Amino acid sequence: MYDSHISSRKDDHVRLAQQYYEQNALNPRTHAEIDAMQFIPNALPEVSRADVSRETSFAGLALERPYFINAMTGGTPRANEINRRLARVAQETHSPMALGSMSIAVKNPDTRAAYAQLASDFPDVRFLANLGAEHTLESARFVVDLVGAKALQIHLNAAQEIVMPEGEKDFRGWTEHIRTVTEGLGADGVPVIVKEVGFGMSAETVAQLVDAGVHTVDVAGRGGTNFVQIENARNAEQDFSYLEDWGLSTLRSLLEAMHVREEREELRAHEERAEGLGGTHLDIIASGGVRGPLDIVKYVALGADAVGLSAAFLQAVTASEDADEAVAGAVALVRAWDEHVTNLLTILGVRSLPQLRARAPYVLPESVHAYVRQRFA
């Protein structure tokens, strides 16, 4: 039997995420700064579209395009059907696919068969398992093995838990849990990605994670699925609407993480030994409110190694009751976005994503410059 309480919550999350999708995706205030970021046109690009590469990587995973299917749901009959549709899209497009929190599989043995079946039916999909920061190394290894995951996402969701009526209110020990899981799975050859759930990461948080041995972060900023908004809609006892604007935007979160990356790389450049500096390169994923190819290219230009999308894929695979029709539509969306990403790189005069990050000029709105001055000057 499914745990009816957890199942109801997970289905509520999907329902409310879809309900609020347009409100959040189309909110001009949420996206004002990324919209105001402007590429400087290149009237002499001197690039053939045929020579442009969209390839990138993060956490040791090679990607054909700079975006992937990020974490959404799982563990209930409805959520399992959504995951099967997403897996079909991932299989056809060779995209990694992150699963939503798998804590339900740790707690309830009756939910595990669906996860195992998903991995069995889609053996070529590179699944990313997912757990909260409170879980043990044993649980992490269990969910990785359950789906044959290529990496584990550890999600950070303190703001969501505070608002969630049945949520956790004690966040002690998270950093040490992350350190233990990262070291243990690292010994197994399984990378760990630490991600927010939509409220962004500060430079202080990213530095703390790097010091704990983490090499990949997903800053997951404000602008997409809003779990304070969702949990507040489920909370009949208290009103948390004042927190619905909580957190950092994806743009600002990315700049925070880039500050840590640049600071650590500069330190290593001046040190013969990198002891205590948290390893080598920091991979950064930008997610949260990503609406299309231009957003993707902007975030990569700002430093992201890849971009994660959840809501856009959720909308696509649930656009029709007919699974084949919905999956075909989602695949067509990926193909169209691939073409647009290539077009954008071409007219910017770059042949690759590293060239985009290194050479494509852009300007940011004064509000972003003011933010950076206050934070890092």
Residue closest to 70 by CA, chosen among 98, 93, 32: 98
β-pairing verdict for 306-309 and 362-363: unpaired
Confirm whether residue 316 is marked as ligand binding: no
Tens of pLDDT, residue by residue over 21-42, are 666 666 767 789 999 999 999 9
In the predicted structure, residue 274 carries a pLDDT above the cut 70: no
Question: How large is the average pLDDT for residues 155-182?
Answer: 93
pLDDT value, residue 194: 98
In the predicted structure, residue 278 carries a pLDDT above the cut 80: no
First-to-last alpha carbon distance for the chain, in angstroms, is 56
CA 47 – CA 192 distance, rounded (Å): 37
Confirm whether residue 290 is marked as ligand binding: yes
Question: How large is the average pLDDT for residues 249-278?
Answer: 83
Question: How large is the average pLDDT for residues 254-263?
Answer: 97
Kindly report the CATH number assigned to the domain that includes residue 168: 3.20.20.70
Which structural domain, as residue segments, surrounds residue 256?
4-376
pLDDT value, residue 226: 84
Confirm whether residue 91 is marked as ligand binding: no
Confirm whether residue 150 is marked as ligand binding: no
β-pairing verdict for 38-39 and 362-363: antiparallel
Confirm whether residue 195 is marked as ligand binding: yes
Confirm whether residue 10 is marked as ligand binding: yes
Confirm whether residue 216 is marked as ligand binding: no
Confirm whether residue 161 is marked as ligand binding: yes
pLDDT value, residue 177: 97
Tens of pLDDT, residue by residue over 281-298, are 899 999 999 999 999 999
Read off the amino acid at residue 77.
Answer: P
Dihedral sign from CA coordinates of 251, 279, 66, 287: negative
Residue closest to 122 by CA, chosen among 97, 159, 157, 100: 97
pLDDT value, residue 17: 62
CA 201 – CA 287 distance, rounded (Å): 11
Tens of pLDDT, residue by residue over 194-252, are 999 999 999 999 999 999 999 999 999 998 888 788 888 888 888 888 988 899 999 99
Confirm whether residue 318 is marked as ligand binding: no
Confirm whether residue 73 is marked as ligand binding: yes
Confirm whether residue 308 is marked as ligand binding: no
pLDDT value, residue 127: 98
In eight-state DSSP terms, residue 272 is S
Confirm whether residue 262 is marked as ligand binding: no
Residue with more model confidence, 165 or 19: 165
Confirm whether residue 70 is marked as ligand binding: no
CA 44 – CA 47 distance, rounded (Å): 9
- The reported pTM is 0.92
Cβ atoms of 128 and 38 within 8 Å: the answer is no
pLDDT value, residue 1: 44
Cβ atoms of 255 and 365 within 8 Å: the answer is no
pLDDT value, residue 2: 45
Residue closest to 153 by CA, chosen among 211, 81, 212, 97: 97
Looking at the 3D structure of the chain, how many domains does it have?
Answer: 1
Read off the amino acid at residue 282.
Answer: L
Confirm whether residue 261 is marked as ligand binding: no
pLDDT value, residue 29: 74
Portion of the chain with pLDDT greater than 90, in percent: 77
The HSE-up count of residue 118 (CA atoms within 13 Å, CB side) is: 33
